[in-house]
């Protein structure tokens, strides 16, 4: 297939190129759902109670820090936690980094982020 002919102007060539790229990406994504050769795994959402058991924190702590935690999914006023995101966050903290002074397993924190 020819991408352009001698009579096509630059805008037409770019438009055709964009169409071809979009078609290729759409075909790749529709082949397996995410374009990487593997079927996407369904997302498991945990309740706040389930999440705090894994975190070793309180429900109050989870709600207080919900806006800064990357694994939180808001459902109205309540929160749910991405199980995969929570596990990644825990693994990252266990390697020594922390967020806002809150290290996993350090117990509940007061408003200033200290015990």
Per-domain boundaries in the chain: 1-39, 41-115
Q: What is the pLDDT of residue 18?
A: 74
Q: What is the pLDDT of residue 94?
A: 87
Taking the C-alpha atoms of residue 90 and residue 38, their distance in angstroms, rounded to an integer, is 25
Nearest to 46 by CA among 64, 65, 59, 33: 59
Q: What is the pLDDT of residue 13?
A: 77
Tell if the pTM clears 0.75, that is, is over it. no
- The tens digit of pLDDT for each residue in 15-72 reads 777 777 777 777 766 655 555 556 666 788 999 999 999 999 999 999 999 999 999 9
Nearest to 28 by CA among 20, 36, 39: 36
Q: Which residue has the higher pLDDT, 10 or 81?
A: 81
Beta-carbon contacts of 71 under 8 Å, excluding residues fewer than 6 positions away, are: 81, 82, 85, 86, 88, 89
- The tens digit of pLDDT for each residue in 90-108 reads 999 888 755 544 545 544 4
Taking the C-alpha atoms of residue 4 and residue 37, their distance in angstroms, rounded to an integer, is 31
Q: Residue 115: is its pLDDT beyond 90? A: no
Beta-carbon count within 10 A of 98 CB: 12
């Amino acid at each position: 297939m020819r991408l352009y002919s001698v009579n096509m102007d630059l805008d037409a060539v770019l438009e055709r190129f964009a169409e071809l790229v979009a078609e290729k990406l759409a075909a790749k994504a529709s082949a397996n759902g995410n374009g990487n050769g593997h079927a996407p795994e369904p997302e498991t959402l945990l309740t706040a109670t389930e999440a705090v058991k894994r975190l070793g924190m309180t429900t109050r702590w989870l709600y207080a820090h919900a806006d800064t935690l990357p694994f939180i999914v808001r459902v109205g006023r309540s929160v749910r936690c991405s199980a995969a995101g929570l596990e990644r966050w825990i693994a990252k903290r266990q390697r020594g980094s922390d967020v806002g002074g809150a290290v996993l397993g350090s117990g509940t924190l007061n408003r200033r982020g200290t015990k």
